Amino acid sequence: MRIFTAALATETNTFSPICVDRRAFEASLYAPPGQHPETPTLCTAPITVGRRVTAEKGWELIEGTAAWADPAGLVNRQAYEGLRDEILGQLRAAMPVDAVVMGLHGAMVASGYEDTEGDLLTRMRDIVGPDVLICAELDPHSHLTRKRIDALNFAVYFKEFPHTDFVDRAEDLWRIAVDALEGRVKPVNSVFDCRMIDVFPTSRDPMRSFVDEIMRIEKEDPEILSISVVHGFMVGDVPEMGTKLLVVTDNNPQKGAALARELGMELFSKRGTFMVPQIDEKEAVSRAMAAKAWPVVIADVWDNPGGGTAGDATVILEELLARGVASAAVGTIWDPVAVQICFAAGEGAEIPLRFGAKSAPGTGNPVDGTVRVVKLVKNAEMQFGESLAPFGDAAHIVLDGIDIILNSTRAQSFDPSLFSVMGMDPTKQKILVIKSTNHFFASFSKIAAEILYCSAGTPYPNNPATTNYRRAPKTIWPIVADPHGTERGAA
């Protein structure tokens, strides 16, 4: 068997002011054929798992380019077309192949392309023809389009949010692919549109129990090869935005469709109950100051670079400063210019500095003060599961007793190593302010005495009922109350 694999991924917040060009991919991950590291990034596990699987089978794995850019706004058209055509050229050169196994995100939007993954997969199908297996692993915060279903034999999505299972799902992807190539199964997709958009953290019920249930079904029913909840991505303003259920069966589309509908309506019945309740910055700081055990983690859930925002909001920091809090660490505030100034000043310097809140309205105000530069790290990285997440050249500064990390590559706060690599012991702080919606939970919950979910400012359009969509469907909850007609008994 000859199998081609590659990866092209980013998550596009179409409301974000930060555009993505070729340099953004190169700053996060750009690995030409054969140069992908041994450890996977979030959307490249099909490559690293594929190396092991094909070696065990004695098959040939032809690696194409792997490229990942941290989430932001629209992808530059030339950047997308250049990377797409690079991978398509590698596929043409590899022909004939028996299968194509891709690592994708599923929420990329480029200038001129609302469905980049659909465009890429359709072009791949045109190259390999109708009989070659094409499959992909994707992030659930994405859009499942008709074009993608038409091009793919099957797809597997991460089940967990936080996405701690991206390697496990790549294992599932390859297991099904091997079974299909060796003639034991015939994967068939069945999709149900839940007609809703919501946020589904699996670190709490009801989503925890829902994911446990779909994994039980997969384990006990041999005809069910995979079940995926495609959460959707509420800041991707595209025509097929929304939550979908994908069931992959062994050639039983009727059974798959019935199960997808049953599970999809169960999700719909629990709409609005999945997300952790949030408080504003004043209540968050008050509760953290009154705590009797530490550290208290304040998650700035909507200024999340993992959702495409800048990560430069200062709303919570301003509240800490106004309240005179002295034992706190903030990680991170994105400000490449301020980082550059700190590097020029050097460790130990005391300098006047303005930083933060440059990207958009609703992110607070730039902070001014005399800061002490404590530690400077080139090309800093933190842990994220089995991989490393870069946050660029970074500066640890202190302002009025508060430790602050300024970074030059946007990244959400995945892991406490964010602080330790900058010379801090996060367990010694009373308050830790981080920027992440839920990916932080797997690691920070191990050290936190308490976690507070804070909605501060308006860096992210987080209420679909009031978001000014131009392209997304207007017939989904919560834009309309009951798109399935369940209250009339029509479901």
Q: How far apart are CA 53 and CA 178, in angstroms?
A: 9
**What's the mean pLDDT in 400-419?**
96
Give me 127's structure tokens.
């190259």
Q: Checking DSSP bridges between strand 402-407 and strand 387-399, what pairing results, if any?
A: antiparallel
217: left (phi over 0), alpha (psi -120 to 50) or beta: alpha
Give me 120's structure tokens.
């890429």
pLDDT band at 491 (very low <50, low <70, confident <90, very high): very low
Whether the pTM exceeds 0.95: the reply is no
In whole numbers, what is the pLDDT of the chain averaged over residues? Answer: 96
The strand pairing partners of 229, in sequence order, are: 245
**What's the mean pLDDT in 269-274?**
97
Give the model's pLDDT for residue 490. 43
Give the model's pLDDT for residue 488. 58
Q: How far apart are CA 314 and CA 491, in angstroms?
A: 45
- Asked whether 437 and 299 are in contact (CB, 8 A), the reply is yes
Omega before 295 cis (within 30°)? yes
Q: How far apart are CA 46 and CA 101, in angstroms?
A: 7
**What's the mean pLDDT in 342-352?**
98
**DSSP-based three-state secondary structure for 305:** helix
Angle between helices 45-57 and 166-181 (to 10 degrees): 40
Residue 42 has pLDDT above 60, yes or no: yes
Give the model's pLDDT for residue 386. 76
| Angle at the Cα of 144 from the Cα atoms of 274 and 157, rounded to 5 degrees | 65
The dihedral built from the CA positions of residue 371, 304, 455 and 299, taken in this order, carries a sign that is: negative
Report pLDDT digits (tens) over 47-93: 999 999 999 999 999 999 999 999 999 999 999 999 999 999 999 99
Report pLDDT digits (tens) over 101-117: 999 999 999 999 999 99
- Asked whether 409 and 311 are in contact (CB, 8 A), the reply is no
The strand pairing partners of 11, in sequence order, are: 107
Where are any strands of DSSP class E within 145-275?
Answer: 154-157, 187-193, 224-230, 244-250
Q: How far is CA 225 from the centre of its chain?
A: 24
- Asked whether 157 and 226 are in contact (CB, 8 A), the reply is no
Q: Which of 452, 437, 430, 410 is nearest to 72 (CA)?
A: 410
